[in-house]
Amino acid sequence: MSALTRELQEELGVRISRDSVAHLCRFQAGHGGEPVLFSAWLVGAWQGTPTNLALDEHDEIRWFGLEELPPLAHELVRAALVDARRDRAVG
């Protein structure tokens, strides 16, 4: 979680509340000698306004409703995010 905290501070300028973080999924994708490790998190509380502080790494940062969600890096990430949002809406 230290890497997540650091990256969100460096790239978005927000400080997360560690108590509000839920790990959604982790998996490896790709073939050959350089597979990619994906990890997705749901952060429910933070301080600051998310801002694109890493222009060389991100094209755009903005909010999406589930019905507007663009294609994500991998379908498993999308499924985990949608499931987590549905669970929070019910509970």
Could you report the per-residue pLDDT of 14-32, keeping only the tens digit for each? 999 999 998 888 888 877 7
- Here the CATH number for the domain that contains residue 54 is 3.90.79.10
Residue-range definition of the domain harbouring residue 11? 2-90
Amino acid code (one letter) for 2: S
Measure the CA–CA gap between 43 and 11, rounded to whole angstroms: 15
Of the ranges 1-5, 9-13, 24-28, the best mean pLDDT one: 9-13
Residues 73, 11: Cα–Cα separation, whole Å: 18
Q: Look at the chain and report how many structural domains it folds into.
A: 1
Q: Per residue in 34-51, pLDDT tens?
A: 888 888 888 999 999 999
What pTM does this model have?
Answer: 0.72
Mean pLDDT computed over every residue of the chain:
85
